[in-house]
Amino acid sequence: MKATTEQEYPHSEQGIVPLLPKTETKPEKREMVDTKDHKYRELDKILDHYRGEKGELIRVLHSAQKIFGYLPPEVQAYVALKMDIPVSEVNGVVTFYTLFVTEPKGKHTISVCMGTACYVKGAREVMDKLKDELKLDARETSADGMFTLRSTRCLGACGMAPVMTVDEEVHGKLNAGDLTGILKIYQEQDAGEEHDQVH
């Protein structure tokens, strides 16, 4: 199973492009109806789309992760049941690919590039400083649920090394001293949003 899927979809996040059915609700709209049941009905649409097709487990799981934010055991079991694949195999695939996460992600995902250029330019120090600042380890989420920290392979922005992304935003030419400031931007931004919601 793993061998064939790996051939079909090379093991990289960029290599896996899920073909989502057109009916998929956009993430912004989804937040309006964000109940557990709705998420499962949305997953059903994905499962229906791939029904009867073999070798689509990775695509389904990728879509499921988009819907739920992560892949808790229950979602894995549900996919196994609906696709008639042993749950051990589903769990095997989920734990094999670093793309999949089994714990809820923080509000923001920080990806520190560990490609050669970034590494030489001090990515390790950036990583260590972030771990220190957020009091967590790589692939963990901070206690306040704000940040998830992870390392990534080359992002292709070597000219700006060392590089990290926070969600979709790229921050380059970093040094350890910049980081507190950058984190603060997101923390304040979120505090502002919450303030707006209250009033």
Binding site for another protein (CB under 8 A): 2, 36-37, 40-41, 44, 73-74, 76-78, 80-82, 86-92, 95-96
Cβ atoms of residues 118 and 125 within 8 Å: no
Which one, 41 or 184, has the nearer CB to another protein? 41
Least CB distance to another protein at residue 81 (A): 6
* CA distances, 63 to each of 19, 47, 68, 69, 181 (Å): 9, 10, 9, 10, 34
Least CB distance to another protein at residue 96 (A): 5
Which one, 78 or 119, has the nearer CB to another protein? 78
Which one, 73 or 192, has the nearer CB to another protein? 73
CA–CA separation, 85 and 196 (whole Å): 46
Which one, 17 or 81, has the nearer CB to another protein? 81
Least CB distance to another protein at residue 172 (A): 30
Do you know the residue count of the chain?
A: 199
CA angle centred on 198, ends 196 and 199, rounded to 5°: 70
Least CB distance to another protein at residue 97 (A): 9
CA–CA separation, 127 and 134 (whole Å): 11
**Would you tell me how many other CB atoms lie within 10 Å of the CB of residue 110?**
25
Least CB distance to another protein at residue 119 (A): 19
Which one, 21 or 73, has the nearer CB to another protein? 73
